[in-house]
Amino acid sequence: MSRLADIPVSQRPHCKGRAIIPSPGVPSGTALVYPAGVKADGHRTYGLLGTVVIIFVVLPLTRSGQIARLIGAVLFSAIIFWGLWALSERRRHLNVGIVLMAPAFALTILHHLVESRSIEVTWLITNGVALGFLIAMLLRRLFRTERVTADTLSSAISGYFLLGILWSFAYAFLFQLDPDAFRAVDSGGASDLFYFSFVTLTTLGYGDITPVSDAAETLAVLEAVVGQLYLAITVARLVGMHIAARQST
């Protein structure tokens, strides 16, 4: 989102291509100006973050049966749906997200009704692509904003969690292609690889699950590096925006 500006209405004779959005708490005769098609900041990412947290509670239960695993898969789809709704600044972003998400959601149901390795691999690919698009939109929003708000912090936290989920899809895809790519992963794999992804992202490295193949090792190294870079760059960005806001007041 471009820079916000408080402009008295009387001094705005021309605002072509912009949406004038009255804002509570702003003096009378003043409006916040956004580029056309861009949403005002809200609290939509709270729901995204809440859904991600629910995944951490539900996923350990997905080993217990087919229905539980289906619920876990649907929650993954819910993350992407909610994220698209929360982060789509323009209609075309939402349309692209829907095009990516529609086959992913259909495969979510299908691969729990039909036991097929090819369907599961396709499900992992489609969900991974949709999740990657969601992360790209979230980062775009995070690094275009100029104010640190609770919604900004929620976006930053959600982005970190979504990176771990994205890598768990990549590990699961690799596991489908090569079951020996990881040591100490059971035949189900999904919960173990979800756990392994976040252990790697946070660089804990317990060592109970280890990558064995070259591809698995490369993915693990990339995740650890990306995780640290995300934290360093995001924290620097948030602190910089906060300092700039304090100096301007």
User: What is the per-residue burial (b if ≥16 Cβ within 10 Å, else e) of 203-240?
Assistant: eeeeeebebeeeebeebbeebbeebeebeeebeebbee
Q: Other CB atoms closer than 10 Å to residue 72's CB: what's the count?
A: 20
Q: Assess whether 111 and 210 both reside in one domain.
A: yes
89 and 121 within one domain: yes
155-180: average pLDDT? 92
* Highest mean pLDDT (candidates 15-19, 63-67, 79-83, 161-165): 161-165
Does 55 reside within a domain? yes
- Is residue 146 located within the same domain as residue 84? yes
Domain that holds residue 18: 6-35
6 DSSP 8-state letter? E
pLDDT band of 244, cuts 50, 70, 90? confident
For 80-110, write each residue's pLDDT tens digit: 777 777 777 677 777 787 887 788 778 877 8
**What is the tens place of the pLDDT at every residue in 211-226?**
999 999 999 999 999 9
Q: Are residues 97 and 194 in the same domain?
A: yes
Within a 13 Å sphere around the CA of 163, how many CA atoms are in the beta-carbon half? 24
CATH no. for residue 208? 1.10.287.70
Report percent pLDDT > 70 for the chain: 76
The reply to whether 1 falls in a domain is no
d(CA 80, CA 57): 18
Q: In which residue are the tokens 């930053």 written?
A: 156
Q: Are residues 84 and 60 in the same domain?
A: yes
Q: Give the pLDDT confidence score for residue 67 in this predicted structure.
A: 66
43-58 pLDDT tens trace: 677 888 888 888 877 7
pLDDT in tens, 177-209: 998 899 888 766 677 888 899 999 998 888 889
Answer yes or no: are the C-beta atoms of 151 and 185 closer than 8 Å. Answer: no
Q: Say whether both 16 and 100 belong to one domain.
A: no
Q: Are residues 126 and 30 in the same domain?
A: no
Work out how many domains the chain is built from and give that number: 2
More confident residue, 184 or 35: 184
